[in-house]
């Protein structure tokens, strides 16, 4: 792999590092100095109230939004610079969105192979073979020829996860992927994530599912007003938070019956 810029040594080789990342939309500062590191095979859950910057953080890592200041390093290489090939970076990262965002004019199979075929140049046959393997694994093989509007929300989101996985990314970014689902469909999607976590997939997920975060996360980051206020193992952050803001947030979550 040709690196876009000279590799920068970091404390954690491999994985993802965010170093004092700032992002504003107009005058609204959304990220105000984010420091975060994610080691390979780690599952990091981002929690925090709406508007705390979780989604923006993930979009910045996938270079969908350009950061204003700071650095983002993937596998030791700075990817937030001006001269980086954004398409090359995105080919190494998979992203799944809250609203599934499948392409409505393509079948399930064409949806999950589009990136492999066009961005990675994998021949259709090989791409479809890999894709069918994943569709079987996630119980979607009988939906390969269906269009997104013929699938349930849970099936669509599982297809979107397959679409992100089919090119074998180093890391998955998952942006509140169960928030748009009917409650009875949340389980099937979380099951897929748990499966991936067990397989050692590096994942950063923004979530409101505290119970799930407690079970599956290696570490939990609590974001508040564009900063990481608390970062540690789930049993500490969720059960014995050191920051009053975290305690306040968790108290509200418990009130709402979500933990």
Partner 1 sequence: MTDDPGPSGGIGSPPSLVRPRSWSDSLRDFFAEEGATGTLVAVGSTVVVFVLLAWAVASSPNWPTIQGQFFNGEVIADSWPVVLRGFWVDVQMFLVAQVAILLLALLLAVMRSLRGPAFAPLRVLAILYIDFWRGIPLILAIALLGFGIPALDLPGVPNSQFFWGTSTLVLSYSAYTAEVYRAGIDSVPESQRASARSLGLSQWQSLRHAILPQAIRNVVPALLNGLVSLQKDVALVSVLGVREALREAEIITARTFNYSPYVVATILFLALSVPMVRYVDYYTARERARRSNVVT
- Give the binding site for partner 1 (CB under 8 A): 59, 62, 64, 86-88, 90-91, 93-95, 97, 99, 101-105, 114-115, 118-120, 149, 160, 163-164, 167
d(CA 161, CA 134): 10
**Helix (H/G/I), strand (E/B), else coil: 243:** coil
Per the CB < 8 A criterion, the answer to whether 204 and 61 are in contact is yes
Q: How many whole angstroms separate alpha carbon 38 and alpha carbon 172? A: 12
Q: How far is the CB of 101 from partner 1 (least distance, A)?
A: 4
Beta carbon nearer to partner 1, 150 or 242? 150
Nearer to partner 1, 149 or 255 (CB): 149
Scored b (16 or more CB within 10 A) or e, 185-203 reads bbebbbebbeebbeeebbb
- Which two structure tokens, joined as six digits, stand for 151? 């699938």
Give the nearest distance from C-beta 2 to partner 1 in angstroms: 16
- Kindly state the smallest distance separating residue 189's Cβ from partner 1, in Å: 17
- Closest to partner 1 by CB, 74 vs 220, is 74
Least distance in Å: CB of 106 to partner 1? 8
- Nearer of residues 79 and 229 to partner 1, judged by Cβ: 79
Question: Judged by CB, which is closer to partner 1: 118, or 124?
Answer: 118
| Alpha carbon distance 96, 164 (integer Å) | 7
Residue 163 tokens, joined? 């679409």
């Amino acid at each position: 792999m040709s690196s876009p810029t000279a590799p920068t040594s970091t404390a954690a080789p491999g994985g993802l590092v965010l170093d004092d990342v700032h992002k504003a939309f107009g005058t609204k500062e959304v990220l105000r100095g984010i420091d975060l590191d994610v080691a390979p095979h780690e599952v990091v859950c981002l929690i925090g109230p709406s508007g705390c910057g979780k989604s923006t953080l993930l979009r910045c890592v996938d270079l969908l939004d350009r950061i204003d200041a700071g650095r983002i390093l993937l596998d030791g290489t700075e990817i937030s610079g001006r001269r980086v090939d954004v398409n090359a970076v995105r080919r190494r990262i998979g992203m799944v969105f809250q609203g599934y965002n499948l392409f409505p004019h393509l079948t399930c199979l064409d949806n999950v192979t589009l990136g492999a075929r066009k961005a990675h140049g994998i021949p259709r046959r090989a791409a479809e073979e890999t894709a069918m393997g994943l569709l079987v694994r996630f119980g979607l093989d009988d939906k390969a020829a269906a269009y997104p509007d013929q699938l349930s929300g849970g099936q669509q989101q599982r297809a979107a996860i397959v679409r992100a996985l089919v090119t074998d990314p180093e890391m998955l970014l998952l942006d509140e992927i169960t928030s748009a689902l009917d409650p009875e469909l949340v389980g099937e999607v979380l099951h897929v994530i748990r499966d991936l976590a067990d397989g050692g997939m590096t994942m950063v997920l923004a979530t409101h599912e505290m119970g799930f975060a407690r079970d599956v996360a290696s570490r939990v980051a609590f974001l508040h007003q564009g900063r990481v206020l608390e970062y540690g193992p789930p049993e500490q952050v969720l059960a014995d938070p050191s920051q009053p803001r975290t305690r306040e947030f968790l108290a509200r979550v418990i009130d709402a019956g979500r933990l």
